[in-house]
Each structure stands twice: as structure tokens, then as C-alpha cells.
A and B are shown apart, each in its own frame.
Chain A
Amino acid sequence: AQSVTQLGSHVSVSEGALVLLRCNYSSSVPPYLFWYVQYPNQGLQLLLKYTSAATLVKGINGFEAEFKKSETSFHLTKPSAHMSDAAEYFCAVSGNAGKSTFGDGTTLTVKP
């Protein structure tokens, strides 16, 4: 069985501050891990994915995530938040038949 836990349903940062969104996973097999972003009234868009080639993964819009097997974590970071980063973010783990299990999501608010 696989599962994802996103710590913190709401995160608020000031513009220019560090963004840190936390994700812990459990998986019985080497996981495929993803971060998706959802803007209001839109579908999910892939931010980045863990391919096992490198533990530090760079994605779009300046986001990156680090895979830490010992901590079963895949936290999402961005050095400097922008107003346009305000959205909901989902961590997901993929396993059998490509089925993905999603976390409950973290809503990021960026204050001016």
C-alpha cells in the first residue's frame, strides 16, 4: 500500500520569502513521486517528478524538491515566493498500474 501525507493544509508566506511545502510518503516499492500545482478552477499541472536519477529535482517556476529515502520525504521548496505562486499544491506517489495516491493538498498564500 502507498500513502502520502502533506503536513500543513495551509501555508502562508510573504512575497520573496522561502517556500517550504512538506510531503512524506510510504511505499512498498521504489516510489515515483510527483508534485502538482492547481490554480483556481483549473486542473492539475505537473511541477516536477522524481525519476531516481538525482535526489534533487528541479521543476518549473523555480521550484525544486529533494528526495530523502531515509526520511521518506519529498519536500517542495522555492527560494523566493512570488504572488503568482499562490495555488494549491499536491504531492503524489505512483505505484501499481500507474495509480497515484494524492495527499490532501496544501494551499499556499503569498502575502504582499
Chain B
Amino acid sequence: NAGVTQTPKFRVLKTGQSMTLLCAQDMNHEYMYWYRQDPGMGLRLIHYSVGEGTTAKGEVPDGYNVSRLKKQNFLLGLESAAPSQTSVYFCASSQPGLANNEQFFGPGTRLTVL
């Protein structure tokens, strides 16, 4: 099992450009999450999904959109990138009622917005 994978691993954007980050999991988990990690601020939840076709806002959703068209995939979109979105983005998944809601993390995407 690959677990949780993220593409791309690195990306550099110019202000105003758009991009989509892809997260895929092969564990048949219902829940998926997108976090951003900034120095000294831990992980902050951007959006999450409790099942195929559903999404919800997290702590810092502004400037991001998500879609969960297939259970195994969770896409994070930036419509018009800003320097404040320079960060490391982590995707995670979990299964309700299993392992006390332990989350499984991808390796991260390092995004720089110039």
C-alpha cells in the first residue's frame, strides 16, 4: 500500500497563478484533510471531507477550494496564488471509528509563491 500520496512535491508559482494539489489514498478512508504548515504555527486545517462529494471549511479556508469527486482523491485548488500562501501543504486521511481517528499523512507539497 502506498498510503497517502501527494503531487507535486515542489512547486513555484507567480502571484496570481492558479494550481491544483492532488492527494490520493489507497486505504479506503472516508475522511480526508488538507493542512498547511508554517514555521511556529503547527498545522492548520484548510478544508476537510467526511465522504465522497462532501467538503467543509476548516480553520483557514480563504483563498482555497477543494473537491472530493472520488473517495480516494482530495484536490486542493488555489485560484489566484498570493505570497501568503507560501507554505508546506499536507494531506491526511482517517477512518471514523478506527484507531481512535488516527490520521495518516502524505509527504507534503512545498509551495512557494513569488
Residues of A whose CB lies within 8 Å of any CB of B are 9, 32, 34, 36, 41-46, 49-51, 90, 94, 97-100, 102-105
Are A97 and B31 within 8 A (Cβ)?
A: yes
Stretch of B11-19, B43-51, B63-71, B72-80 lying at the A interface: B43-51
Residues of B whose CB lies within 8 Å of any CB of A are 4, 31, 33, 40-45, 48, 50, 56, 58, 90, 92, 94, 96, 99-103, 105-108
| Given A43-B105, A94-B101, A99 and B90 contact (CB-CB distance below 8 Å) | no
Other-chain residue from A9, A42, A100 in contact with B103 (beta carbon distance below 8 A): A100
List, in ascending order, chain A residues with CB within 8 A of B102's CB: 34, 46, 49
> Which single residue of chain A is at the shortest CB-CB distance from B110?
A41
**Distance between Cα atoms of A9 and B99 in the complex (Å):** 28
**Distance between Cα atoms of A43 and B40 in the complex (Å):** 16
Are B40 and A44 within 8 A (Cβ)?
A: no
Other-chain residue from B41, B90, B94, B106 in contact with A98 (beta carbon distance below 8 A): B94
Are B99 and A104 within 8 A (Cβ)?
A: no
What are 26 sample pairs from A and B whose C-beta atoms fall under 8 A apart? A32-B101, A34-B100, A42-B108, A43-B105, A43-B106, A43-B108, A44-B92, A44-B105, A46-B102, A49-B100, A90-B42, A97-B48, A97-B56, A98-B31, A98-B94, A98-B96, A99-B33, A99-B48, A99-B58, A100-B45, A100-B101, A100-B103, A103-B42, A104-B42, A105-B40, A105-B42
